[in-house]
Structure 1
Amino acid sequence: MLSRYFVFILEVKNISGRIDFDDEKRQFTNLKDDNTIEVYTNPEDQVERHIRTIERIMRILNIHLPIVGAIVFSNTSTIIGQKPKRIPAFHLSGLNSHVNYLFNKYSNEVVTFEELTILKDYLLEILKRDNWKPNIDKNKLIKGAICEKCSNQSFMKYHFGRFVCDNCSVLSKDVLLESLLDYRLLFSPWISNNEFKEYFSISSAKTSYKLIKSLNLNFKGNNRSRIYYIPDNILSYKLK
């Protein structure tokens, strides 16, 4: 949590049973409901490691803010036994009052809004997320427009501006966008006219080109090398 008064780092745990902190041994134990005991990484060490990381970042940016931390237990049934000595630990229900306590303790604005924005932008810039990729055999996937109206998940063919189900003969326009979103998630956010044609089993390259062009997708490349970008908000597009 970033503010002009302080930076607040929370380590949130969802653990049931009784938990105990042992500062001397740097140990964090969990006595479960079945009387078994598990040992976890000490959340105090985790919070302090995060604090040191933010301190280094702020030194780089020449920004100086107090940094505080807390360990928050989200499971209301958790019994907090021996508490940590270095970092506050409490149930989620106590978070609001603790934040109010911090604003009372750190009541002076330390940085400008511009400096806070610089820190925020820098943290977002260095954030690295691993994109989830499905571990499946793509050759076994049913491609194209699949009918959601009938129970057989039948394939739908493009015919005079609409897709028609082979099984129940239902007509649909929106299935084009839904199928393109599936393509984005399972294959790639980029698709060529030839891939589009094969994916939807459209016999005519000219028809396929007119259809994909009508979507007004962003593209790169020219002529046969052109590929189109399928945005993650493709379902919000309006079909003609």
Structure 2
Amino acid sequence: MRKVFKTAAESLADTLFDGMTIMSGGFGLCGIPMSLIEAIRLAGVTNLTVISNNAGVDGYGLGILLETRQIRKMVSSYVGENKLFAQQFLAGELELEFNPQGTLAERIRAGGAGIPAFYTKTGVGTLVAEGKEVRRFGDDDYVMETGLFADLAIVHAFKGDTEGNLVYRKTARNFNPMMATAAKVTVAEVEHLVPAGEIDPDHIHTPGIFVQRVLEVKDADKRIEQRTTRSKTEKELA
């Protein structure tokens, strides 16, 4: 099966439809599949449920899909960097399923492992537990959380081969490996595409069996959400 595609649009062809659920890798703006997000915007699909740690920032990352109002619901953990997200949510225009960050990660991992549900102490006695089964084990209560599985996962990797084996770089690994396992179709954009067999098997983070399509994205744009600097001291300036 041919896995390598030349453009983001080609890699997503016949995978997109209105009302679908998409997992989008990344943490903040680190390790996000920006070229694939842009292709989804251009495709014009609507009524999307997007599972992602957050929704990018205003004007970048998943924020561009909020601008076009293509997202109906977000399943997220952190929503504090996007003013448009807050505006749409408070206006009742965007549905939010809020998750503690560790719970979100475990729900995705469980979905990829075929585990339908699990129990956790996180969120017991809070709004997170409302409407969910709470069960007592030993001396403590635990809330049941369900696994997550999507129609499509889009991920960003540092290196990939023509068979879809992926290597992530440092903190850009984040949610990407888990999401790659938890969808019917996984499309990976990679900064460096190499022939099959060139990656040391011990260095592979996501085996190619989970990845259906690969796209090489050279010179990927990498932005910093909040650049924090300090004034140089007189000694450093000397």
TM-score range, shorter chain: under 0.3
TM-score (norm 2): 0.23
Q: Which has the higher contact order (CA 8 A, sep 6+)?
A: 2
More strand by share: 2
TM-score (norm 1): 0.23
More helix by share: 1
